Amino acid sequence: MDRYSPEEFSQLTLLEYLRATYPTEIKLIDYIYDNQYKGILRRLERVKMKGEDVVQAYKYEIQLQEELAEEENSDTLVEYLNAGMADLNLLGFGLIESAHILFEDDDNDELSSYLDMLERMQTSYAYQRVQKDPLYIPIPSDEWLNQYITREPTIDEVKKVYMGMYNLTEDDESLIQKIYLKIYPVYKKHEILYKLIADLKKLSLGDNPLTDSLKVKITRKRDDDLTTLSQVQTAYFFQSLRESGVLLQDKALLSDRSLAESIHILTGYSAQTARNFFSNSQITEKDKEIIIKKLEEIKALISKEI
C-alpha cells in the first residue's frame, strides 16, 4: 500500500482513497460495471447492424440510466466521492438526512450504528471547525508527527489518527468500509450514464463511439514517473501559465475547475486535488527549483540545443 504524509492524505479525494485502500473490492466492482457498459454498447452495435435508429437507442439507454441515477441520488454521492479526505465530513453529504440513501429499510442495525457514529463525529472539534471554516485542514498534533521524523507513516496510520480526530474508533472501520463500498457502485452507474451521453454527443458529430469504447484510464500512483513534475508542482506550474498569460488569464474564461480538469486530462492527476492546491498551495522552494530546471530543459529544446 502507498505511504502518504498527513498533508498528502488530507488532499486525497475519497475516490482516490478507496482505490488505494480497497483495491481488490474496487477492481471487482469496476469489472462488473465496466462489463455492464460494454454490454450496453453491444446492444447498441446490434441496433446499428440491423439498420435501426442508433440515436434513438442511445437516448433510450440514457433514459434508463438517468432513472437509476435519480433513484439512487447518484449526483449527491458522486459529489461526496470527489470531496477531500480532510473534510471527512465522514459521510458528510447531508449526514443524518441522507442516511436513507445508503441503507435499506431492513438495515436497522447498521442504520442505528451509522447514526451513532455520526453523532459522535459531530461532537468532535475537527468536524465543528470544518463546518465553520471549509478551508480548514485538520492536522495531527506535533507529538504524533514527531513519531515519523525518520519515516513516512503508512496510510493506515494516517487514517487512524484522522479517525481519532473525528471521535471515530477502529470499531467504526468495518461500518465505514461497508458504507464506502455501497457508494462506489452508485458512482459506477453514474459513470455509465455520462459515458453514454458523451458517446451520443460523438455520434451527433459524426464519430462512431461504438468502435472506440475502450479508453485507457490513467491511475496515478506515488512516484510512478508518468510525468516529470509532482502533483503540487504541476498545479503550481499550470497556475503560473495562467497568471503569465500563456493560458487564458481571465477566470471567467478559464475557471479553476476548467484548469484542474485540463490538468487531469493532460497528466492523469486528480482534478479535485489540483483545485485544492490552487486555494491552498503547498509549493516549496525545492519544488520551484525543480520547475525552473524543467523550464530550462524546455528552453533548450526550443533552442534545439538538445
As a whole number, mean pLDDT of residues 183-192 equals 80
With CA atoms as reference, report the closest residue to 17 among 65, 85, 68. Answer: 85
As a whole number, mean pLDDT of residues 122-132 equals 77
pLDDT confidence of 148, banded at 50, 70, 90?
confident
As a whole number, mean pLDDT of residues 206-212 equals 54
As a whole number, mean pLDDT of residues 29-50 equals 88
- How many CB atoms neighbour CB 297 within 10 A? 12
Residue type for position 286: K
pLDDT confidence of 103, banded at 50, 70, 90?
low
C-alpha cell at 66: 438517468
Interval 234-247: pLDDT, tens: 988 998 998 898 99
Q: Judge contact between 16 and 159, C-beta under 8 A.
A: no
> Between these two residues, 155 and 118, which has the higher pLDDT value?
118
As a whole number, mean pLDDT of residues 98-104 equals 55
Mean pLDDT of all residues belonging to the chain: 75
Q: What is the pLDDT of residue 95?
A: 44
Q: What is the pLDDT of residue 214?
A: 37
**Which range is least confidently modeled, 136-150, 214-228, 256-270?**
214-228
Q: What is the pLDDT of residue 210?
A: 52
pLDDT confidence of 301, banded at 50, 70, 90?
confident
- Name the pTM for this structure: 0.48
Interval 5-30: pLDDT, tens: 555 655 667 677 777 777 888 888 88
Q: What is the pLDDT of residue 6?
A: 55
> Across 79-88, 112-121, 131-140, 203-212, which has the greatest mean pLDDT?
112-121
As a whole number, mean pLDDT of residues 57-78 equals 75
Q: List the chain domain ranges.
A: 6-211, 231-302
Q: What is the pLDDT of residue 106?
A: 54
Q: Rounded to whole angstroms, how far apart are CA atoms 113 and 175?
A: 8
